[in-house]
């Protein structure tokens, strides 16, 4: 009888060990998935930030006697400048597309950030943008909406993943304050 109890106890301990190992494996896989989703959102945000930084560096470059801003809205901006230093003035516009374009993703708030250069087709420079906030400042640091008075701007982008993890979407925020040297 003692041998049978030893075998039953041995099987129970082995079963508990297998259960612990499987649970740990599932937990690690879930954690890796979550970390990968966060990394993807952060990388997408960094890519969009690099594109914006490069374009805004050329804001007003090669333009004199005229304001470089054509549109300066809270979620849309259009400006001129010589982007590739070839003595040809380029027009660049950033704006968010409608939510309906991203209806195939589970996230109800994600959108596409478009970049349009000159009269070309708008370029999709970022998926998953849930908010684009632009604020403009004059020489005194006060907010302004007058195109000719703009001397600095604040940009804030909030990006989220397309799929939900637990009860939230992985989120990344990029915010910067720019004082372009050419305006």
Closest CA to 40 of 142, 145, 126: 126
CB atoms within 10 A of CB 127: 18
Whole-angstrom distance, CA of residue 75 vs CA of residue 72: 8
| CB distance 102 to 122 below 8 Å | no
5 within some domain: no
How many structural domains are present in the chain? 1
The reported pLDDT for the residue numbered 2 is 77
The reported pLDDT for the residue numbered 7 is 84
Question: pLDDT for 2-15, tens place per residue?
Answer: 788 888 888 889 99
CB atoms within 10 A of CB 149: 16
24 within some domain: yes
183 within some domain: no
Mean pLDDT across the stretch 20-31?
90
Answer whether residue 51 shows pLDDT above 90: yes
Closest CA to 123 of 101, 94, 84, 102: 94
76 within some domain: yes
The reported pLDDT for the residue numbered 10 is 87
Q: Classify the phi-psi angles of 21: left when phi > 0, otherwise alpha if psi is within -120 to 50, otherwise beta.
A: alpha
- The set of residues, in sequence order, having a beta carbon less than 8 Å from that of 175 and lying 6+ positions away, is 154, 155, 156, 157
Which residues sit opposite 159 in a β-bridge? 129, 172
44 within some domain: yes
The reported pLDDT for the residue numbered 39 is 93
* Number of residues that this document lists for the chain: 183
Mean pLDDT across the stretch 33-44?
92
Question: pLDDT for 91-141, tens place per residue?
Answer: 999 999 998 888 888 888 899 999 999 999 999 998 899 999 999 999 999
Answer whether residue 157 shows pLDDT above 90: yes
The reported pLDDT for the residue numbered 132 is 95
Give the SS3 label for residue 14: helix
Structural domain including 90 reads 11-178
Question: pLDDT for 72-96, tens place per residue?
Answer: 999 999 999 999 889 899 999 999 9
């Amino acid at each position: 009888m003692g041998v049978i109890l030893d075998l039953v106890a041995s099987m129970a301990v082995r079963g508990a060990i297998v259960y612990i190992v499987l649970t740990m494996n599932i937990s690690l896989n879930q954690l890796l998935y979550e970390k990968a989703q966060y990394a993807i959102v952060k990388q997408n945000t960094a890519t969009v930030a690099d594109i914006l930084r490069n374009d805004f560096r050329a804001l007003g470059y090669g333009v004199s006697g005229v304001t470089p801003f054509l549109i300066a809205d809270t979620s849309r901006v259009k400006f001129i400048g010589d982007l590739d230093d070839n003595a040809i003035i380029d027009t660049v516009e950033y704006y968010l597309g409608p939510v309906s374009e991203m209806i195939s993703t589970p996230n109800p708030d994600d959108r596409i950030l478009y970049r349009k250069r000159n009269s070309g087709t708008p370029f999709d420079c970022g998926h998953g943008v849930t908010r684009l906030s632009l604020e403009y400042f004059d020489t005194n640091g006060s907010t302004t909406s007058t195109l000719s008075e703009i001397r600095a701007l604040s940009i804030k982008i909030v990006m989220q993943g397309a799929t939900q993890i637990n009860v939230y979407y992985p989120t990344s925020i990029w915010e910067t304050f720019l004082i372009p040297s050419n305006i």
